[in-house]
Amino acid sequence: MVRRRAILAATLLGASSAAKAAGDLTRQPPVVVVVELGRSDGSHAFEPNRLRFETGRLYNLVLRNVSHDPHYFTSDEFAARIFTRKVQVTQRQPDGREVTLAEFKGVIREVEVYPGHAAEWWFVPVATGRITDLRCGIVAADRRTHAEHGMVGEIVIE
Ligand SMILES: [Cu+2]
């Protein structure tokens, strides 16, 4: 009886420590994913324009604007399926180091990045789905949006 109780206690302890290990999903080492916004030749696109994430993992989505125009990374469906830990604004120094200038926390739906700069969106996907509303809504000189010029993308959360 005593032995049986000891085994039960060990089992319960094991279960609780496993639950603790899963604990704070925003504090695991991030998976870094880089998406370039725009192209240096002036055309409008996300590169890559197909993204895949898994629920429960922490991602650092680096949005790097490599063009001469500002660009948005906008997706309502994506925002509804993730928990945002933070969005941070970074700046590359002349010596190549990336420094953080600001951090934003809370629900984020849209990030705009200016030419030559980058922002990092740290998040944990919490719901699966195929998301097709990734777009840049900026209006170009010809009055068509960047999305209409092809700056759209697809996100799959598994
Ligand atoms: Cu754009």
**What is the DSSP pairing of strand 31-37 with strand 59-65?**
parallel
Q: Is position 16 within any domain? A: no
Q: Name the pTM for this structure.
A: 0.84
The per-residue pLDDT for 92 is: 81
Cα–Cα distance measured from residue 26 to residue 123, given in angstroms and rounded to the nearest whole number? 7
Query: In whole angstroms, how large is the CA radius of gyration of the chain?
Result: 20
The per-residue pLDDT for 98 is: 84
Distance between Cα 83 and ligand 1 center (Å): 24
Confidence of residue 3 (pLDDT cuts 50, 70, 90): low
Ligand 1 geometric centre to CA of 86 (Å): 22
Q: Say whether pLDDT at 6 is over 60.
A: no
Distance 91 CA to ligand 1 centre (A): 20
Give distance in angstroms: CA of 81 to centre of ligand 1.
23
Residue 150 covered by a domain: yes
140: its two tokens = 């170009």
How much distance in Å is there from the Cα of 60 to the middle of ligand 1? 21
* Residue 18 confidence (pLDDT): 44
Residue 68 confidence class, pLDDT cut points 50, 70, 90: very high
Inside any domain, residue 8: no
CATH of the domain at 81: 2.60.40.420
Number of domains in the chain: 1
Report if residue 13 sits inside a domain.
no
| Domain ranges, residue 57 | 26-157
- Determine which helix (DSSP H) or strand (DSSP E) holds 154, and give its type and residue range: strand 152-157
Separation of CA 145 and ligand 1 centre (Å): 8
Which residues have a Cβ under 8 Å from the Cβ of 140 and sit 6 or more positions away?
Answer: 44, 69, 146, 149
Report pLDDT digits (tens) over 7-62. Answer: 444 444 444 444 444 789 999 999 999 999 999 999 999 999 999 999 999 999 99
Could you tell me if residue 17 is inside a domain? Answer: no
